[in-house]
Amino acid sequence: MSHLAIRHLSVENSQGLRLVDDISLTLQPGKILALVGQSGSGKSLTCGAALNTLPPGTRRVSGELAYDDKLIPIDDVAGKTFATILQNPRTAFNPLLSVKAHLHETLRAHGSRLKPHSPEVLQVLSDVGLNSPQQLLNRYPFQMSGGMLQRLMIALAILTNAPFLIADEPTTDLDLVLQRRILDQLKKLVKQHQLGMLLVTHDFSVVAYMADRVAVIDQGKVVEQGETDSLFRQPTHPVTQHLLAAHFALFNFRSDK
């Protein structure tokens, strides 16, 4: 089976402090791997290292990517091997460009001959839940809700034709109803397009709903990996046990209400 392996990824800051330590993950088409941990555990830095988009003051000191065991350069994966969905969609769009312009820019950057008004493009917009896509082309980001922008970001990711997708806290800024809709759409698209997804989150409810497998990260290290059902039923590492205990305590509190 085709797969993408992220191997021995490590990141340090400018003082030489190890922030991400020897992380290895495997993504498979049509499957969702959740990378879960507390804030500051190294989730986003892991993604940044894999995408070669680390923030200033940090650097990747080791790591490689292999697609079906063939090494690929990390410097050239963003938008080709990986498409990305960010947690705050408003920061991802130029407020001076229309939806049509954003689509045109993405299609051109990836060598597609399709146009924003092409039936194939309009179908993708419809597939992610954007109604009346033809009319949407002339709108600007400030005229759209956060949920619409998140759906548009997902559509742009699909249009890159990248086989793997990194979704970094994709529903954090949305209300619960929109969260459910976006997560349902992502699950559908993963299966429909046979995407391999790395879903970054701190929310075990999202993990339980979305993920086939889970990797738990703490202080820059993956401390436990496994099938979602098995990890929920029999967590072995104290960090996983603590996170799940907090999740179930909150769930039971809500249920009692």
Q: Which residue has the tokens 């996983």?
A: 240
The residue-averaged pLDDT of 205-217 equals: 94
| pLDDT for res 255 | 43
**Sign (positive/negative) of CA torsion 150, 85, 161, 3?**
negative
Q: Which residue has the tokens 């005229």?
A: 143
Q: Per the structure block, which two tokens stand in for 103? A: 């689509």
Q: How many CB atoms lie within 10 A of CB 125?
A: 25
Mean of per-residue pLDDT scores for the chain: 88
pLDDT digits (tens, 9 = 90+) for 14-69: 999 999 999 999 999 999 999 999 888 999 999 999 988 899 999 999 999 998 88
pLDDT digits (tens, 9 = 90+) for 172-203: 767 777 788 888 888 988 998 899 999 999 88
CA gap 48, 53 in Å, rounded: 5
Task: Categorize the per-residue pLDDT at 251 as very low, low, confident or very high, splitting at 50, 70 and 90.
Answer: low
Q: Per the structure block, which two tokens stand in for 231? A: 């990890």
**Domains of the chain by range and CATH?**
4-256 (3.40.50.300)
| pLDDT for res 171 | 78
The values of phi and psi at residue 14, to 5°, are -70, -15
| pLDDT for res 256 | 46
Q: What percent of the chain has pLDDT over 70?
A: 95
pLDDT at 140 over 60: yes
Give the chain's largest Cα–Cα span. Answer: 56
Q: Which residues contact 204 (CB under 8 A, 6 or more apart)?
A: 36, 243, 244, 247
Answer yes or no: are the C-beta atoms of 220 and 12 closer than 8 Å: no
The residue-averaged pLDDT of 117-141 equals: 91
> Would you list the DSSP string of 126-154?
HHTT-SSHHHHTT--GGGS-HHHHHHHHH
Q: Partners of 27 in the beta sheet?
A: 4
Q: Per the structure block, which two tokens stand in for 254? A: 């809500």
Q: What percent of the chain has pLDDT over 90?
A: 52
Q: Read off the DSSP letter of residue 91.
A: G
Q: Read off the DSSP letter of residue 78.
A: B
| pLDDT for res 257 | 43
| pLDDT for res 79 | 64
Answer yes or no: are the C-beta atoms of 164 and 82 closer than 8 Å: yes
Least confident span in 71-75, 187-191, 225-229: 71-75
Q: Read off the DSSP letter of residue 30.
A: T
| pLDDT for res 252 | 64
CA gap 240, 218 in Å, rounded: 9
